[in-house]
Amino acid sequence: MIVADHVTFQYAESSEPALRDISLSIDDGDFVGITGTSGAGKSTLAMALNGIVPHEWKGDFYGSVKIDGMDTVEHQTEDFCRKIGEVFQDIDSQMVASVVEDEILFGLENFGVPHGEIKIRLEKVLEDLGIPDLRKREISSLSGGQKQKVAIAAILALEPRILVLDEPTGELDPESSREIFGLLRKLNEEKGITIVIIEQKIKLLCEYVKRLIVLDKGALAFDGVPGEIISHIETFKTLGINVPPVAELSYLLRQSGVYDGGITLTVQEAEKMVREVLHDPV
């Protein structure tokens, strides 16, 4: 469990805080999406949740973040890195090896995992992510989606309980992006891994996450179930965050009084809504 209590952080070279008085808690087993405009503080929040801020970034840090009760300021990042794994926005900067298997082995060896267990974990994580065929491949020959899976595999091999991902689908096509989100859902549902994902792709967030956190200029603007908070469409637009087109359609129909159900987030939900409004058989 991660608890942030009135967290404010200002980078040393900046004139304004990147995070402003953030209080939230992330429970074990949560699947949380964090979104907001550029510069809203999404990456800074993710780094504050795993202790990288303030340890690796100079600046003024106020408030506290506790990971399983351990204060991130009082402990060093190595105390948390076994609990929380992070997949960076730029995966190329994360990769250290040239072959997939070596990339996964790197973390395991650095963590001092016993020799006999290394092979078991390597094979298991490749299997879990559906990439055993990539084991001997050169990383430079992989597609964006494959690379992303390898980056996630290398972190998962370390068996973290919490996985923080910073825009993991940034350079992927929609199908590959959905594959990654599907994989994260599976890890969350079947293995109980807590997922915290920073993402701009609102359609994906609405479809997959259990909870959505919206940041605006470093402060918490919304925190709740996607279907509920997306109904504040006008505020989302003011904040500069788009909503799925089908959500806007349901909002307009609700405004006009022809529909009184919830905000629709997917095409399937919207089809059901339109048939209901037109009294069509489903």
Which residues bind to other proteins, rule: CB under 8 A?
A: 13, 36-40, 90, 141, 143-145, 167, 170-176, 178, 200, 203, 237, 240-242, 244-246, 248-249, 252-253, 255-258, 267, 270-271, 274, 277-278
Least separation in angstroms between CB 202 and other proteins: 8
Least separation in angstroms between CB 69 and other proteins: 33
Alpha helix locations (H) across 85-243? Answer: 100-110, 115-128, 144-156, 174-191, 202-208, 226-229, 233-239
Least separation in angstroms between CB 208 and other proteins: 14
What are the Cα distances from residue 68, in Å, to 4, 79, 189, 270? Answer: 11, 11, 21, 40
How many other CB atoms are there within 10 angstroms of residue 69's CB atom? Answer: 7
Nearest residue to 27 (alpha-carbon basis) of 45, 9, 54, 49: 49
Whichever of 41 and 85 has its CB closer to other proteins, that residue is: 41
Whichever of 67 and 204 has its CB closer to other proteins, that residue is: 204
Whichever of 32 and 270 has its CB closer to other proteins, that residue is: 270
Least separation in angstroms between CB 158 and other proteins: 27
Helix (H, G, I), strand (E, B) or coil at 48: helix
Least separation in angstroms between CB 138 and other proteins: 9
Whichever of 81 and 152 has its CB closer to other proteins, that residue is: 152
Contacts of residue 123, defined as CB under 8 A and 6 or more positions apart, other chains included, come to 132
For residues 118 and 181, give the distance between their C-alpha atoms in angstroms, rounded to a whole number.
27
Whichever of 109 and 280 has its CB closer to other proteins, that residue is: 280
Nearest residue to 244 (alpha-carbon basis) of 258, 222, 229: 229
